Structure 1
Amino acid sequence: MDYKDLQVFLSLSSLQHLGKASQQLHMSASTLSRRLARMEEEAGAQLFSRDSSPLQLTAAGELFRQHAEQTLLSWEQLRSAVGTQVSDLSGRLTLYCSVTASYSFLADLLSRFREKYPQVDLRIHTGDAAESIPRVESGEADVVIAARPEQLAAGLTFKAMAASPLLFIAPRAPGAVLPLNQTEIDWAQVPMVLSESGLARTRVNRWFAARNIAPHIYAQVTGNEAIVSMVALGVGVGVVPELVLRNSPMAGRVRVLNVQPELEPFAIGLCAQSQRLQEPLLQALWKTAAI
């Protein structure tokens, strides 16, 4: 069990809600549930009572909470003792990511980076997620936050930070595109709103091809955020990463379809040219992401 597990446990014990904790920690509820189960297995006891809402610590869970707080406090004191002084590292670092990635990862990562490396000039650019990997390949960005491609190009290194399931979403309004109680979906007839390119499009194309279905594509758009908006308007069914849906102002107007088999989730993280990882600025950001 590592320090991150203890931090996860304390967040869950504070919020007493699996969904709220998963949002705060930027991980899916299923991932958080599996992580908790692993902690309970290692601790040899049930830490939360699952029969109540909000979640309640068991007696063993309360002892574990005290242990987690004491351990993390000792760790912080050790870090202070060995020296976490501000670095005099300076220079310019260009980072590219989607708007959703900036909401989900950037604030926490950069707050820690700026605290230790205040003299580094950070240039942040946002745009279509599909442009992330091409930008780091071309050198337009020093580093990107992106979904890991199925085949990572030679010369690139990827550092995973989180996973995000890929979801089918439909309008919440009754009768829009699909009845709310429909279980058998005729996918050949369903109007689809899909991204023009990128990893999500590749995976949904493969999903349809495996079932010998020619999808009815109503619209192709640039950017996952636009897919959620169009689905909310009732024009079709879309496919987006969970992180996009979670951060969308239109999330309350769509519903997630229980589609089996599920699409392979995204691995989200940092990506940079391998040959440049020895550069001090990239090394500093890489180490910050690992904290």
Structure 2
Amino acid sequence: MDTRSLTLFLNLSETLHFGRTSEELHISASALSRSIKQLEENLGVTLFERDNRRVALTQEGKLFQTYARDTLQQWDAFRESLMQESHDLKGEISIYCSVTASYSFLYDILSDFRQRHPRIELKLHTGDPAPAINRVLNGQEDIAIAARPDKLPDNLAFRRVAVSPLVLIAPREASDNLLTSTPSNAEEWANTPMILSEEGIARERVDGWFKRMKVSPRIYAQVAGHEAMVSMVSLGFGIGVVPQIVLENSPLADRVKILSLPNELGQYDVGLCTLKKRLKSPIINAFWGS
């Protein structure tokens, strides 16, 4: 069964970028364009609206995205069930996590798994942890290492790996007095420059905390990824909130200091997540139990 065209379409429907999809799937842009055009001709509909500046899914494209995702998952599940019968697991698992998670947790998880299942290929993507769960929910990844959200989606399975407190960090050396100790009142908080994540659980909790204090924070910068936040704080641009495990593994840890943090912000519950229905896959289930 040739599922290549569905794979190409599904990746492009997520990136909405021909160049990025070409690079990720190791195919030329012209070959990708021909494949999508042939798919549209076979279906008799336009799947993408595209011009020199943007690519967007049409309504028909959104419907076909759901079909392609379900079809590929069903095909993988059926193929894996046949392999289970032969007691020889082989195939591919895509995993998404932050750079910190890749060397903090992934090595231990993968070392035993690779010995037991050498014919299963692992495809690792690293990046900002904020979109990790959505990448699993929309079918881009099989498994992600992510922080458990305050409300876990019903269709998502989560297995804890570690717990990491959130810490408030400031530059170790700063000329501004507000950056050498925790702001003590709403006025000081409002005047303290903050380095915040663009999105994610830590950002949601910080936003909620400021809202409860009725403070409009002075946001100096919004960055993708907690590692970048440590860099910005170490340079003296402001203070920020990061998981302690990120700070412990940062080469800049000695250039920042930890300030006291409001208890309301809680901690990071870090673990593996996947769609519950994907646990029926022998390959995913084997990894889940590793």
**TM-score (ref. length: structure 1):** 0.66
Q: Percent identity?
A: 50
The equivalent residue for 2:143 is: 143
Q: What does 1:127-206 correspond to in 2, within 5 Å?
A: 127-176=127-176, 178=178, 180=180, 184=184, 186-206=188-208
In structure 2, what is the Cα distance between the partners aligned to 1:177 and 1:225? Answer: 25
In structure 2, what is the Cα distance between the partners aligned to 1:95 and 1:150? Answer: 22
User: Could you tell me how far 1:212 is from its partner in structure 2?
Assistant: 1.4
> Is the CA contact (8 Å cut-off) linking 2:179 and 2:238 kept in structure 1?
no
The equivalent residue for 2:238 is: 236
The equivalent residue for 1:250 is: 252
SS in 1 for 2:231: helix
In structure 1, what is the Cα distance between the partners aligned to 2:152 and 2:89? Answer: 30
The equivalent residue for 1:211 is: 213
In structure 2, what is the Cα distance between the partners aligned to 1:179 and 1:207? Answer: 19
The equivalent residue for 2:105 is: 105
In structure 2, what is the Cα distance between the partners aligned to 1:124 and 1:275? Answer: 21
> Is the CA contact (8 Å cut-off) linking 1:171 and 1:177 kept in structure 2?
no
Tell me which amino acid in the other structure corresponds to 2:287: L
Tell me which amino acid in the other structure corresponds to 1:259: L
The equivalent residue for 2:226 is: 224
**TM-score (ref. length: structure 2):** 0.66
Decide which of 285, 288, 291 is 2:287's aligned counterpart. 285
In structure 1, what is the Cα distance between the partners aligned to 2:251 and 2:224? Answer: 18
CA-to-aligned-CA distance 1:123-172 (integer Å, 9 cap, x gap)? 11111101211110111101111001111122111111111111111000
In structure 1, what is the Cα distance between the partners aligned to 2:243 and 2:251? Answer: 15
> Is the CA contact (8 Å cut-off) linking 2:147 and 2:271 kept in structure 1?
yes
> Is the CA contact (8 Å cut-off) linking 2:179 and 2:192 kept in structure 1?
no
> Is the CA contact (8 Å cut-off) linking 1:177 and 1:190 kept in structure 2?
no
The alignment covers a number of residue pairs equal to 202
Runs (4 or more) in structure 1 with deviation over 4 Å come to none
Unmatched tracts of structure 1, length 5 or more: 1-86
SS in 2 for 1:208: helix
Change (3 A) 1:120 1:182: closer
In structure 2, what is the Cα distance between the partners aligned to 1:261 and 1:154? Answer: 27
SS in 1 for 2:205: helix
> Is the CA contact (8 Å cut-off) linking 1:165 and 1:242 kept in structure 2?
yes
In structure 2, what is the Cα distance between the partners aligned to 1:179 and 1:153? Answer: 38
> Is the CA contact (8 Å cut-off) linking 2:182 and 2:260 kept in structure 1?
no
Change (3 A) 1:211 1:120: same
Unmatched tracts of structure 2, length 5 or more: 1-86
Change (3 A) 1:179 1:155: closer
The equivalent residue for 2:21 is: none
The equivalent residue for 1:4 is: none
Change (3 A) 1:181 1:151: closer
